[in-house]
Structure 1
Amino acid sequence: MKGSQEKLDRFPCTSCGLCCKNITGIIELVGFDAGNGVCKFLDLKT
């Protein structure tokens, strides 16, 4: 488990929102999908 967390910690996020706008089909993120493939926590205004 720790190894997978380390991989997540190394993701080069630039806060562009592209990943958060395309979560459709990612089983681990199904609870975050707003119903349109976008993460429900993504603030589209900022």
Structure 2
Amino acid sequence: MVHGDARRLEQVAGVFDAVIEAHYVGHLPADERGPAFAAAVQAVRPGAAS
């Protein structure tokens, strides 16, 4: 588990087997949703679920 800004996950790129953003992204301003989703995708290791 990581605590921090979910829009900036460079320190954990490729680390997780899965990322769940249930209900979180909907609370972000519309212009921040894309970067938050992209950061989550980068945090998932290759071949894992996202």
TM over 0.5: no
Q: TM-score range by the shorter chain?
A: under 0.3
Whose helix fraction is larger, Structure 1's or Structure 2's? 2
- What TM-score, normalized to structure 2? 0.26
Bigger radius of gyration, 1 or 2?
A: 1
Quick one: higher RCO (CA 8 Å, sep 6+), 1 or 2? Answer: 2
- What TM-score, normalized to structure 1? 0.27
